[in-house]
Structure formats: structure tokens, C-alpha cells
Amino acid sequence: MEGRGPEELERLLEEARKVRGNSLWKDAMRRFRRHGAARFALRFLLALSFLCLFTPLLPFAPPARVRLSEQFQPPKAVFVRHGWSRGDYPGASGLTGRMLDLRERIFGDLEFGPWMGTDSKGRCLMSRILWGGRVSLMVGLVATLVSLIVGVVYGALSGFLGGFWDDLMMRIVDVLYAVPFIFVVIFLITVIRENQEVLEATFGLTRMGVFFLVIGLVYWLTMARVVRGQVLSLKNREFIEAARVLGASTPRILFRHLVPNVVSVVLVYLTLTIPRVMLFEAFLSFLGLGVEAPDVSWGMLAADGLGAVNPVRVYWWFVLFPSLALGATLLALNFVGDGLRDALDPRLRER
Amino acid sequence: MTRGVLLEVAGLKVHFPGGRGPIRAVDGVDFVVREGETLGLVGESGCGKSTTARALVGLVPATAGRAELDGRSLLGRQRKSLRRRIQMVFQDPYASLDPRQTVGDILREPLEIHGLGDRRERRLRTIELMLQVGLDPRFLNRYPHEFSGGQRQRIGIARALALRPDLLLLDEPVSALDVSIQAQILNLLSGLRRELGLSYLFIAHDLSVVRHLADRVAVMYLGRIVEIGPKAAVFDRPRHPYTKALLSAVPVPDPEVEARRERVFLEGDPPSPDREKKGCAFASRCPLATERCRREEPMLLPRTGLGRESRRVACFEVVESGGGRAG
Amino acid sequence: MKKAPLSPERSPVLEVDGLEVDFETGDGRVRAVRGLSYRLGPGETLGVVGESGSGKSVTHLAMLGLLPDTAEVRAERLRFQGNDLPPAGSEALRRLRGRGIGMIFQDPMTSLNPFLTLGTQIAEMARIHLGLRGAALRETVVAALAEVGIPNPELRIEQYPHEFSGGMRQRAMIAMMLVAEPALLFADEPTTALDVTVQAQILGLLASLQERRGMSIVLITHDLGVVAGFAHRILVMYAGRVVEEAPTPALFANPSHPYTRGLLRSIPRLDEEREELEPIPGQPPDLLALPEGCPFAPRCPSVRELCLREEPGLRSLEDGHALACHVDLEPFDHEERS
């Protein structure tokens, strides 16, 4: 073969740049788009998240404002021009605060509602659902993220190390699995509550922050197992062996080869963990261990709802709307998870 | 060490811990590969040919023995620089490439690992490699699943060549490919061998393929070499009873040849590699087996001479009778 | 070589005409088989040769109704022992599978249930198809294993598939099929996953079974060496169609289709040395996007303009030799190869 001069090679390199390959992601996204339910669900979730994110900007009644004169009002479409003030939003600072200020400038006094009725304390339910959604979604995301990070690192390490270390690490997981989490979480949260100020001073952990952490630490176990399984199956694949033969170092194999190939599995599992986390938060808040007033979450709303007198026939909106919100979100997440799994799975089998 | 010898393997053993006793995947193997030579390692499943190769590149630990590339040991902790001289091409074109890397990434990786060249030089080298193996370099940014099996195997070969090795281990490089593609890859391999002055250790179960590509052939059975010699001698005048049986079982695409052949049928199945070690591994199925064969293990003889034309067989019956029984 | 059996024209065991199989996939419609016809006589072995994508396996799975629902099967005529094959999914076809027509596959590990002993699985066949019970059942099972050359069958029937080697498992598969005494056996790459010495054993076994029982066999494979020694007649398939059909000696003596020649020139042989192999250029065809005209045209060294426009039909040469090609090649020069 004639030697190719460097100029010729340069030219070919330039041409090569123009051709972009189809990564497996692109293929997966294409497949995902074909999955009707998942597509719809994703849009729903994005819309909901968007709505919750910009809730402070929207002209609805403050969720924490107690007005007994308006208690137990059924849903009605009304525009109410009651005055509200920033004082109705205690503890709103930073970005939220600025959004509220912006709202004040745009909408002034205006507030809509109560489109979904009011609760026993005269608080607008819709507003509470939206603000509650912020908290619930946030918990879902952040706590899942915590479980992701811990789980992936632990699982990848365990799977990769194999042998004695893998056995040890997995036995620890097994033991932790056997522990009834409710008790642990209750215990932890109670302890943390009592030492709130100390913690906040030394670690700068807000009450919510602790909450996220605790929940996240409960759910990392299954993630670790899933990741470990995937790593185990990949560990002896020929492309990993090839990397070793080339002289790749262990960190390189782990991060350049194993982790990216684990991501798809993790992603699917992630979308299925978020609903579980949200439910758990709802449960905790229901027990009174989660979010505290004046903050609100969907779990809390469920608790409120059930506490009302005959919530099904008389004050039906107490239960219906929050349940719909939570239920729809969880369902949507499941659909997205299904869609992702279908999209990513066949692609993993490359033939 | 003899001049011209690139790889020398002596007494190589790879044993794995097993339930009933160690699994002796490779049980005392001796051979050499000279510069520019292709040694074919053949045998059926479980004979240890793949394990031998894996031991040479450090994928499995060797239990005993010596393996030296130009005098430097390949076993134990391998120095990174030594890895550049011996590389491997794998069997499965679908599993041997990371599906999340582009061709460019795959080919650049060895260069990055060993710190060869600057960014620009590395990119140019990847183009050069693609051309060498007959791939259109415009596909540099494509992913493995966008290529066919044969093309993926070419990528695997290019990757193995990136570091400019002296010795290439090829573990069944064409077994997973369609018949019409196999010839393309085989031609590529012989072309590259010529152009780049490579030596090959070629592992295959398909004897016809080995015949085409190898200079010398070693036949393995249950972790040991039973016969080794120049290919024409081994294929046309096999001496070991297993070699004869193996050759007679290979189908030939010619009905007249098939009709005329004499078949040697082996009884039963090969014993498992964790059986008790006693006598010749082949004794249980050998038509010539005697009491001695079951008691003692035959050595690969004659021991003298490592010349290109040297021929060795591990069998009491054949060697003792002066090769009289052989064709 | 084997002596030629009865001519397939009289009392054919299997008659296929115009078989077509399409698949509806996410990426489009795949035409896996595009018009296949052949006849098989009693005691005859037909070798069906092709690479991946040729349609050789799909054809026979379709005949037995073993394809998934996404497949659409059409045929002008599909007859077994003179009677039309029952439609896919019907009870009648289910009963025919195993009883009249048996099938063995490449990987016996996936065909055998890992949770049941071998004896149980074979007995199931005998019970369903022959209605045997008790002692008679057991005897039949043991006899079947003995017939395929498995030593100590009385012990082996209590064992599980994973306790058998690859060759043994394939023998067990064959035993399972034989129990119901089929007149026709489809063997889809039965030896591809096996070692070459074991392959020789299994092929020998099939040959002796055929002689003893007068069974017809369709041997599906990519290995021309295997069919050279085993088949009476050979069908070469490419892109879902038969491109050449001939009695075995004739096919090798004078391969008439450029694909067949390409294959023969490109495979290395045990008994000869060649400087360079002549590969077939290009890639196997993409069944989602078949070109107009002959599907082999992009890779064909003898391609003419007509080939690009019109797909050739199957035409007869002499003596049972059929060819789907527009071009008449010079007689095959065997010298060229050595």
C-alpha cells in the first residue's frame, strides 16, 4: 500500500468530520417517540414541572393563608381580587421570592380561584396542589438523585471488584434490605428534628435538605443491585477484555467503558424510582414526619383530605384533586419508564 | 534463545480452581513463533487454545511455565511497553467493540493509553488505520452498530494494529462471520501480514481456514499439544491419532472427495478437563490406546531442534514404532 | 456418496410452490422469502444452503407454522404426503409437528427444557403422538436414546440437559424427534455449534437413520462441505429465493450461478492450498431495501444491464439442474482454483 502523505490524511479527516454517526441514543430516542403513551406522558410531566416551577409567578391564592371565613368552599370559577401580600408567603426567599416580586409587579392584587375549592382552613386547594407539587417533585428528583449517586458508585465498584469485596458489599446490602425502613426513617427524622439547629449550624443542612438525604439513602439499595448486575454482565464482555489487552487502567475501564454502558439501565430504573420516592414522601408527610406547615406537599394534602368530614360525599374535592395530581404524575412516570425501557432494550442487543 | 524466535512458550499451564479438582485448561504447552511466521493453534472446544492466548496477553493468570516475547516475560505483571508488541483480535465482532464509542474513539484509545503522538497525530493515525483495513475513513464518527459484521471485525483488527505490534493473536477472527465475508477478512489478514511484517498466532477450530493462513500448525487436545509441525506435513501426513480423526471429520466441499474419504470416527465425548490426571489425555477415545497410554503421559517428541521444519508428536504408539503407522 | 433415492416426482413427501414470507417490523416490511418451490422425495436429503438473510431457516419455520404473528405466510401449494398442510395455528398442524414432520435446531440447549429430565421430555413426545403409557412408554424412550447412540440410556433418562455435552444434547434432540416416527425431518444448522468430530458423528447418525427408516431430510446449513457429503440435492438460496438447484455432483461439477461459484471460490479447503481466496465483494443484501432486478447484481462479477432491471426467474438446465440467472457462464474451471 502506498504511504498516504499527511496532507491526504488531513483531507480525509476533514471529510470525516462532516459525517456524524447515529449514536445509540439517537436510535433510542427515535424508538421512544414511537411509543405513544410514553410520549404523551413525557409531555404531561414536562408541562406539570413547568407549571410547578413557575407557580410563584402565577396569580393564585397563597397556599398558606388561612381564612376561616372561606373554609369548605366547593370549586368555583371566580376571579377574586383579594389583597395578598408577601407576608402571606413566609419563608419565601431567593428565587421564589423574586418570582413573587415579579408576580406582584405583573398581576398586582389579582388572584384566581378557588377553582378547586378550599380546605378546612380556607386555603385554596389548587394553589396548595401546585405548591405541593413543587415540593413533591423536588423530593422525587433530588432524593432519587441521591440514591442514584450512592447506588451507582457502590454497585459499579462491587460488580467490578468481584470476588470477596463483591460478596462483602452485597451482604451489607442484603442486611440493610432486611431492615424495615419505616422505622429507620422515623427514627432518623425524629433525631434530626431534635437536633435541627445544631445540624443546620454545623452542616448547613436545611430541614428539607435532610429530608431529601434520608429518603435518598433508603432507595439506593436496589439501584446498587441493578448496577452491579449490569456491571457483572459487562465485565467479561469482549470489549472490556480488549481494553485490558490494550493496557487500559482500571479507572479508565470503569469510567470510559462500564459506566456509559450502564447508564441506560440506570435511566430506566430511575424513572421507576421517582414515583416510589414520591409515594414514600407522601406517606411520611401523611404520618406527619415529612414536610411541615406552612410548607405543603401532596402527601400532606392527602392527609388533610382524609381528615375532613366524610371526604367522599361532602367535601369530595379534598381528596379528588390531590389524588388526581399524584396519581397522574405517578402513572406518567411509569409510562415514561416503560417507553424508555422499550426504547433502550432492543438497542442493547445490537444485532 | 534461538535467533529469529519472537515468542517462546515453555511448560505453560493455566489451572482454574474447580469443584472436583483443578480444571486444567492448559496443561503444559510448548511452542515457538518465529518472526514473520504464522502458527495455527487448532483443536475442539475445551482444548485450551483460547485460554493459551488469553494467558499470553494477561487476561488470565498463568499457573506455571514461561512465555517470553523477545526474551521478556509475558506472564505476571506486564509492563505497559510490552503490551504494545503483542495484541489480540477477538472472535465476536458484535461484542468486542464498545457500543458507546465511535470508530474514532475506539481506534484512538490505544494511542491515548500509551501517550503516542499529539491530538492531531492521533487523529491522522486513526484515518491511516481505517485505510489499512479497508474501511472508508469518512465513517470515523459512526458507531459499531452501524456497521456489518465484517466491517466490525476490520475495526477490531485496526484497533489491534494501532500500537504497531510485532505479534498478533487472532482468536477465531472469522468464525462469527458469513462465509462470503470470511474470505475478505482472510485476504486482509494475509495482506497485512505481508505489508507489516507481522507474526500471527492464529486460533481456529475451522481447519480449512487454518490451512489457508498458517505456516505451522499445533493441534491441541485437553490442554496439551499432541502434534506440531509444518502445515503441509501435519495436514497431509498426520501422525497423531487425534489429528487423523480431526482431519477426517472436516467436511470438504467436493462430493467426490467426500465419497472417497476414509473416516476415523471417535467414540464418545472428550473427558472433562477436571478429570484425574493420568496417562495420555486421548487414551479414552484412541483406537491405538494401550495400557501404557493409560498410565503414562506421552511427551512431545523429538525434543531436539526448533527449526522451521521440525515435527513433533506426543504419542507412544506413533513415535515408538518409528512413525510406521502414520500415512 | 449415497445411492440416489426414488425420483421425487413420484409420491413426493413434500411439495412447496410459491412460498412467500413477509415480516412487519418497526423499520418496514421485510420480504424474507420471495417465491420458493421444491419437491422432496421419500428417503431423499435436500441440502438448503445460504448465508444469513437468505431465508433458508424462515422458509421451514413458516411451513411448520412456527413464525411469530408479525409474519405473513403465503403459498400456492404446500403439501405434505399429498395432503395440504394445515394452516398455521391450527390444532391439526400442531399434531403434525413431531408426528409427521420433525425439526431439530442449531442449539439444543434452547430447544430442551432445562427443568425437566431428558426422559420426561422424550416421554412427552411419545405420549402425545403415540399415546403410549407406562412400561411401553419407558421402553420406547430408552430405545430411542439407544438408537441415537447414547450410552447407558437407562441412566441418562434421569439426567437434565445441562449434564449432557453438546453432541449428546443434539443426539437427544434427534431421539426426541424420532420417537414420533416422522416421515420428514427439518434440520436447521444441526451441527454448526458442534465440534467438527462431533459434527461428523451426528451427520453419520442422521445418514444411518435415514437409511434405516427411509426418512426424508431437509438439511439447512451455510456449510457447503457438509452438504457435499450428505445431501442428494442442493438448493442454493440468496435473498429469499432459490438461485440454483441441482443434484449434488452436478452442483459441484458445474456450479452455474455466479453466487454459487463465488462461494466455492472463496472458501478455503482442507485439501488444497491457494495463494489468495477470491472473496465475493460487497455485503449480504438488506432485505428491507432490495434493489430492483437481481438482488445479487451489486456483487456479481458477470453482471449485465438486464440484471439490474429484471430479476431472473428459475429456468431449467439439463438433468434437474435449475438456475435463476440471465447469464450463461462458461463451464466451471476447476483448475483455476488450485
Q: How far apart are the first and last CA of chain B?
A: 34
Cβ contact, residue pair C267, B183, below 8 Å:
yes
| Residue A346: predicted pLDDT | 52
Q: Using one digit for the tens of pLDDT, what is the confidence trace for C297-306?
A: 898 988 888 8
Interface of A with B in 194-253 (CB under 8 A): 237-239, 241-249, 252
B201, pLDDT greater than 90? yes
Instruction: Report the distance separating Cα A141 and Cα A133, nearest Å.
Output: 12
Confidence check: pLDDT of B2 > 60: no
Binned at pLDDT 50, 70 and 90, residue C168 comes out as confident
Q: What is residue B324's predicted lDDT score, i.e. its pLDDT?
A: 37
C5 has pLDDT over 60: no
Q: What's the pLDDT at C251?
A: 92
The C-alpha torsion from C126 through C128 and C131 to C135, rounded to 10°, is 40
Determine the pLDDT at residue A1: 39
Share of chain B above pLDDT 70, in %: 91
Query: pTM to 2 decimals?
Result: 0.81
Q: What is the mean pLDDT of chain B?
A: 86
Q: Is B235 on the interface with C (CB under 8 A)?
A: yes
For B180, which of C228, C269, C284 is closest by C-beta distance? C284
Write out chain A residues lying below 8 Å of B90, CB-based. 238, 241-242
Average pLDDT in the C244-270 region? 90
Interface residue of C27, C106, C277, C300 to substitute, partner B, most B CBs within 10 Å? C277
What are the structural domains of chain A?
36-56+128-348 (1.10.3720.10)
What helix, strand, coil percent values describe chain B, rounded to 5? 35, 20, 45
> Between A12, A248, A347, which is nearest B113 by CB?
A248
List, as ranges, residues 62-81 from B with C-beta within 8 Å of A.
Answer: 80
Chain C residues closer than 8 Å to B241 by CB = none
**Residue closest to B161 by CA, chosen among B58, B55, B84:** B84
How large is the average pLDDT for residues B63-67?
91
Q: How many Å separate Cα A326 from the centre of its chain?
A: 13
Nearest CA in chain B to A238: B96
Cβ of residue B256 closer than 8 Å to a chain C Cβ: yes
Which range (A93-107, B157-171, C84-98) has the least confidence?
Answer: A93-107
**Does residue B327 belong to the interface with chain C, where contact is any CB pair within 8 Å?**
no
DSSP H or E segment with residue A207:
helix A207-235
Q: In chain A, helix, strand, coil percent, each to 5?
A: 75, 0, 25
Q: Which chains touch C (3 or more CB pairs under 8 A)?
A: B
pLDDT tier, C86 (very low <50, low <70, confident <90, very high otherwise): confident
The angle at the Cα of B124, spanning B122 to B129, to the nearest 5 degrees, equals 95
For residue A219, the 8-state DSSP code is H
What integer best gives the mean pLDDT of chain C? 86
pLDDT digits (tens, 9 = 90+) for A161-214: 888 999 999 999 999 888 887 787 778 777 777 777 676 666 666 667 777 777
pLDDT at site C1: 39
Please identify every stretch of chain A with a pLDDT value under 70, giving residue numbers as ranges.
1-4, 18-22, 24, 81-83, 86-87, 90-93, 109, 113, 197, 199-207, 293, 308-313, 345-351
The pLDDT, as a whole number, for residue A200 is: 66
Which chains have at least 3 CB atom pairs separated by less than 8 Å from chain A?
B
Determine the average pLDDT of the residues in B150-164: 95
pLDDT higher than 70, residue C13: yes
- Percent of chain C past pLDDT 90, that is, above it, reads 22
**Minimal C-alpha gap between C174 and chain B (Å):** 16
Which pLDDT does position B132 carry in this prediction? 92
Whether the predicted pLDDT of C309 surpasses 50: yes
Stated as kind and residue range, the H or E segment containing A143 is: helix A125-161
Contact flag B139-A21 (C-beta cutoff 8 Å): yes
Residue B218 has pLDDT above 80, yes or no: yes
Predicted pLDDT of residue B56? 93
- pLDDT confidence of residue C231: 93
| Cα C14 from Cα C103, distance rounded (Å) | 14
- The mean pLDDT value for B134-149 works out to 88
ipTM of the complex: 0.86
CA distance A146 to chain B (A): 25
C-alpha span between C219 and C49 (Å, rounded): 8
pLDDT surpasses 90 at B110: yes
Cβ separation B249–C222 shorter than 8 A: no
Query: Whose CA is closest to B266, among C5, C296, C196, C66?
Result: C196
pLDDT at B81: 80
User: Which of A190-194, B99-103, C203-207 has the least mean pLDDT?
Assistant: A190-194
Q: How far is B325 from chain A (nearest CA, A)?
A: 43
CA distance C133 to chain B (A): 31
pLDDT, position A335: 87
**Interchain contact, B138 vs A19, CB within 8 Å:** yes
C-alpha radius of gyration, chain A, whole number: 25
**Any A CB within 8 A of B59 CB:** yes
pLDDT at C112: 85
pLDDT range class, residue B173, cuts 50, 70, 90: very high
Query: What CA–CA distance (Å, rounded) separates B112 from B101?
Result: 14
In this model, does residue B308 exceed pLDDT 80?
Answer: no
E strands, A34-160, are 79-80, 111-112
Q: Does the distance separating the beta carbons of B127 and A13 come in below 8 Å?
A: yes
First to last CA, chain A: 33
Distance between CA A259 and CA A247 in Å, rounded?
18
Nearest CA in chain B to A237: B95
Highest mean pLDDT pick, A127-131, B187-191, C108-112: B187-191
CA–CA gap between residue A332 and residue A314 (Å, rounded):
29
Chain C within 8 Å of B186 (Cβ-Cβ)?
Answer: yes
Q: CB B254 to CB C166 under 8 A?
A: no
Q: Does any CB of chain B come closer than 8 Å to the CB of residue A313?
A: no
